[in-house]
A and B are shown apart, each in its own frame.
Chain A
């Protein structure tokens, strides 16, 4: 099952590689990973989308907590949360496809960031599944390039990950 783990860790050189090294050394999956500093510059926040049975997720959480630089780990799936991912997608938009692409971008509430005679570059945000859906919805041969950030997640309401 897909899980979103939120990790608060010391903003120190090497901390990221410890987390990534742990996943590869123990054979855990990483579907996506995002990381950046928080409002407190000494802390980084990482969102990892992973998958595995409940036992595996429990082990991942425990193993992450064992890393000295990891301050806190929560599994966002345990309660309500929101997640967003950003995608930039460059598509071929000529002839009849030009209007179609514009329409698809509108339907998915995307924004066209860059326009040339032959291409659109569209920005889309949403749950990862929505971005998947967009890719499914457009003609695959028209997709020139995609770049995705991976999901970021946060708990709803009073559920706060802080030290």
Chain B
């Protein structure tokens, strides 16, 4: 029986087991929306802005390991979705975005609400497809889901002209898809894995460097087993928080521009580095030449060959799915019993503990102004490290990453690659829908939250009781910090005057608002908010305006040349000299 193209789209989504479609209707997708009206297998979530739809699909995907699906109309609907798509692309999130397009005969004529979606998204998608025949919809959709979820995941856009959704065809959903030009690698090369294991057993100062790929491939158990089996230290990137428990003593914490002192020092001074699903990006190792100035052997496990040897040369590249490679590596380690030398390892740990003893995250806990770190720390304590936490981008994001110790993967949801302000709230909606009974907090700032604040309305409609933790310092905090450090305190356009009354704003949207101004009120307020299980609570914390994020690696500096917090300034002076001394330690 022939059905319409729009119905075919719906059937495809049903075949893929899609639970939620995040979207916004418009002219070019009205046929599809009419078909949605007539079905009840998946739920449509009506956002208030298309960017919110894509971020919500993204948050849904990150927290559930399922594909996020968004549906937008042509033209402005499509362009509004771009930031969300680019966000997902930079963080390798599996997603299918369906965009409407003007009817085929109108394409290229500057028709109303026409934009070349395939052209405009090309640099920020894993793949995109313009469907030109109703008989191609099913295969295009199958291909989209296949490509989005296999290999290094990423967003795929399917652009469907309106006349194609009206045309009719038989529906056959392909059971499988085979593309001669697309064969993502699975297993790593056994010879390379063996070499890596040998290298590990010769290591004096080994370190495991865990990236977002470990989360994406669901390799948390394997990573944990590897670290525990070898007794070696581990560090994780912003994207990997939770892949290895944040409260495990072998975890040195996050590394990078705002990484922990001990993690960055270990990264700089290790002699054997196992990089797992990580990509040595500029926010992680800063200047490659400085990073390599302390000699080290590098094993790099990644599913994407182009991530290997992109910024640093590696000694043992292993192309493959992280989980599969680690399974093989663990089997080999179990079989051979190869382990790093215990004495060397003990010396290494002694050094690591010395670095750790400075407690680089110490902050003034007795301040009579609310310290942002204190809010995150308290949230961690009362949720036991078990909440889903989304964030926006800026200082609050870094404090969330530093002070909330994630014990499980897929609990920390943030825009790491693109750094998209406005991500947190819509992402939290998606997380909450994927995990209806879980505690979902959105740690944000008064600037970021306003970039997609309209989604408070969506949260009301779909009863997503997100706890919004607004760290309100009346500044674009990270911009202000850079201006303080590098621009002579000239705070150009980084102050937010005329902020809304967030309590009234929350109430206007039908939620609960709270304003918290004293440190003593932080914990009781958080506890009270958590008790309101069915309600979205917007908590406006009035925090210290002058607080900076430490440690900090400046752009042109080496990873170990950190700007340190006030109580560690004595170490900062000697960083470079100390490094040279340490280079000879064996």
Cβ of A21 and Cβ of B306 under 8 Å apart?
no
Cβ of A14 and Cβ of B118 under 8 Å apart?
yes
Contact with A62, one of B119, B181, B182, B306 (Cβ below 8 angstroms): B306
Contacts of A59 in B (CB 8 A): 306, 309-310
Cβ of A21 and Cβ of B122 under 8 Å apart?
yes
CB distance from A28 to the nearest CB of B (A): 13
Contact with A70, one of B147, B181, B305 (Cβ below 8 angstroms): B181
Would you call B304 an interface residue if the criterion is a C-beta within 8 Å of the partner chain's C-beta atoms? yes
Contacts of B306 in A (CB 8 A): 59, 62-63, 65-66
Per-residue CB contact flags for chain B residues 123-140 toward chain A (1 = under 8 Å, else 0) read 100110010000000000
Would you call B179 an interface residue if the criterion is a C-beta within 8 Å of the partner chain's C-beta atoms? yes
Would you call B38 an interface residue if the criterion is a C-beta within 8 Å of the partner chain's C-beta atoms? no
Contact with A69, one of B118, B123, B181, B305 (Cβ below 8 angstroms): B181
Cα–Cα, bound, A62→B304 (Å)? 9
Contacts of B309 in A (CB 8 A): 55, 58-59
Would you call A123 an interface residue if the criterion is a C-beta within 8 Å of the partner chain's C-beta atoms? no
B132: nearest residue on chain A (CB-CB)?
Answer: A13
Cβ of B123 and Cβ of A62 under 8 Å apart?
no
Would you call A53 an interface residue if the criterion is a C-beta within 8 Å of the partner chain's C-beta atoms? no
In B305-364, the 8 Å CB interface with A consists of: 305-306, 309-310
CB distance from B288 to the nearest CB of A (A): 11
Per-residue CB contact flags for chain B residues 242-269 toward chain A (1 = under 8 Å, else 0) read 0000000000000000000000000000
CB distance from A125 to the nearest CB of B (A): 31
Would you call B180 an interface residue if the criterion is a C-beta within 8 Å of the partner chain's C-beta atoms? yes
Contacts of A41 in B (CB 8 A): none
Contacts of A63 in B (CB 8 A): 306
Cα–Cα, bound, A63→B119 (Å)? 18
Cα–Cα, bound, A141→B102 (Å)? 51
CB distance from B156 to the nearest CB of A (A): 9
Would A71 and B181 be within 8 Å (CB), given that A63-B306, A66-B306 are in contact?
Answer: yes
Contacts of B147 in A (CB 8 A): 68
Would A65 and B305 be within 8 Å (CB), given that A14-B118, A71-B180, A163-B180 are in contact?
Answer: yes
Cβ of A17 and Cβ of B181 under 8 Å apart?
no
Would you call A18 an interface residue if the criterion is a C-beta within 8 Å of the partner chain's C-beta atoms? yes
Cα–Cα, bound, A63→B309 (Å)? 12
Would A17 and B310 be within 8 Å (CB), given that A10-B181, A65-B305 are in contact?
Answer: no
Cα–Cα, bound, A18→B123 (Å)? 8
Contacts of B179 in A (CB 8 A): 68
Would you call A131 an interface residue if the criterion is a C-beta within 8 Å of the partner chain's C-beta atoms? no
Per-residue CB contact flags for chain B residues 512-555 toward chain A (1 = under 8 Å, else 0) read 00000000000000000000000000000000000000000000
Would you call A9 an interface residue if the criterion is a C-beta within 8 Å of the partner chain's C-beta atoms? yes
CB distance from A75 to the nearest CB of B (A): 15
Contact with B126, one of A17, A21, A68 (Cβ below 8 angstroms): A68
Contact with A21, one of B123, B127, B182, B304 (Cβ below 8 angstroms): B123
Cα–Cα, bound, A110→B126 (Å)? 46
Would you call A137 an interface residue if the criterion is a C-beta within 8 Å of the partner chain's C-beta atoms? no
Cα–Cα, bound, A59→B279 (Å)? 14
Cα–Cα, bound, A25→B124 (Å)? 10
Would A17 and B305 be within 8 Å (CB), given that A9-B181, A59-B310 are in contact?
Answer: no
Cβ of B182 and Cβ of A68 under 8 Å apart?
yes
CB distance from A85 to the nearest CB of B (A): 27
A contacts with B, residue count (CB < 8 A)? 20
Give the dominant DSSP class at A's interface.
helix
A26: nearest residue on chain B (CB-CB)?
Answer: B123
CB distance from B310 to the nearest CB of A (A): 6
Cα–Cα, bound, A68→B122 (Å)? 12
Cα–Cα, bound, A55→B119 (Å)? 29
Contacts of A25 in B (CB 8 A): 123
In B249-308, the 8 Å CB interface with A consists of: 304-306
B304: nearest residue on chain A (CB-CB)?
Answer: A66
Contacts of A69 in B (CB 8 A): 181
Contacts of B127 in A (CB 8 A): 68
Cα–Cα, bound, A46→B94 (Å)? 30
In A41-92, the 8 Å CB interface with B consists of: 55, 58-59, 62-63, 65-66, 68-71
Cα–Cα, bound, A9→B123 (Å)? 18
CB distance from A105 to the nearest CB of B (A): 43
Would A17 and B304 be within 8 Å (CB), given that A58-B309, A68-B181 are in contact?
Answer: no
Which residue, of A17, A18, A55, A66, has the highest number of chain B Cβ atoms within 10 A? A66
B152: nearest residue on chain A (CB-CB)?
Answer: A66
Contacts of B122 in A (CB 8 A): 14, 17-18, 21
B123: nearest residue on chain A (CB-CB)?
Answer: A25
B127: nearest residue on chain A (CB-CB)?
Answer: A68
Cβ of B181 and Cβ of A14 under 8 Å apart?
no
Cα–Cα, bound, A21→B147 (Å)? 20
Contacts of B181 in A (CB 8 A): 9-10, 68-71
Contacts of A18 in B (CB 8 A): 122
A15: nearest residue on chain B (CB-CB)?
Answer: B181
Cα–Cα, bound, A21→B123 (Å)? 7
Per-residue CB contact flags for chain B residues 144-177 toward chain A (1 = under 8 Å, else 0) read 0001000000000000000000000000000000
Contacts of A14 in B (CB 8 A): 118, 122, 130
Contacts of B119 in A (CB 8 A): 17
CB distance from A155 to the nearest CB of B (A): 20
Contacts of B182 in A (CB 8 A): 68
Cα–Cα, bound, A93→B106 (Å)? 50
Provide 25 A-B residue pairs closer than 8 Å at the C-beta atoms, listed in order of the A residue.
A9-B181, A10-B181, A13-B130, A14-B130, A18-B122, A21-B122, A21-B123, A55-B309, A58-B309, A59-B306, A59-B309, A59-B310, A62-B305, A62-B306, A63-B306, A65-B305, A65-B306, A66-B305, A68-B126, A68-B127, A68-B179, A68-B182, A69-B181, A70-B181, A163-B180
Known interface pairs A14-B118, A21-B123; 9 further A-B residue pairs with C-beta atoms within 8 A, sorted by A's residue number: A25-B123, A55-B309, A63-B306, A65-B305, A68-B127, A68-B179, A68-B181, A70-B181, A71-B181
Interface of B with A (CB < 8 Å)?
118-119, 122-123, 126-127, 130, 147, 179-182, 304-306, 309-310
